[in-house]
């Protein structure tokens, strides 16, 4: 049975949830969405980069990347309403970005407000 988010946090940090004092100051909503992931990566001394530019010719960036493993995380920012990610042009642009990332050998994990708590368990499958 896979450990829950709370069990992983308790094992790594000795707490059931993150204390506000342990959180790094977020620069964007996507960064704060991955606070737990960043603390986990830091505890394992695994390098990560916010806003990682992965494409040699385009200005595309991943919200969070683990370059040594070529694993990227994207926070789609969908809270149930209309967003750039749900419009035809926004979804098409995202698809182009993710397809090019895959062609370059990246594995892209995508999250919303409802499934972002699964991120640490997903990362464990790659590292």
In the predicted model, is pLDDT for residue 7 greater than 60? yes
Q: Which of 24-28, 58-62, 69-73 has the lowest mean pLDDT?
A: 24-28
- % of the chain with per-residue pLDDT over 90: 52
The pTM assigned to this predicted structure is: 0.71
Each domain of the chain, given as residue ranges in start order, spans 5-16+26-124
Any idea what DSSP says for residue 126? T
* CATH superfamily of this structure's domain 5-16+26-124: VSR Endonuclease (3.40.960.10)
Q: Which of 44, 58, 64 is nearest to 104 (CA)?
A: 58
pLDDT at residue number 22? 46
**Helical ranges in the chain per DSSP H:** 5-13, 29-33, 35-43, 88-103, 119-124
């Amino acid at each position: 049975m896979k450990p829950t988010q709370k069990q992983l946090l308790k094992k790594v940090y000795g707490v059931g949830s993150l204390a506000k004092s342990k959180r790094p100051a977020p620069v964007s909503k996507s960064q704060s969405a991955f606070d737990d992931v960043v603390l986990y990566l830091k505890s394992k001394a695994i390098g990560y980069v916010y806003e990682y530019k992965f494409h040699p010719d385009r200005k595309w960036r991943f919200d969070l990347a683990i370059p040594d493993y070529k694993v990227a995380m994207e926070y789609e920012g969908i809270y149930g309403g209309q967003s750039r990610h749900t419009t035809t042009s926004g979804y098409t642009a995202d698809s182009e970005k993710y397809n090019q990332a895959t062609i370059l050998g990246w594995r892209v994990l995508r999250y919303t407000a409802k499934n972002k708590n699964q991120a640490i368990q997903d990362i464990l499958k790659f590292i």
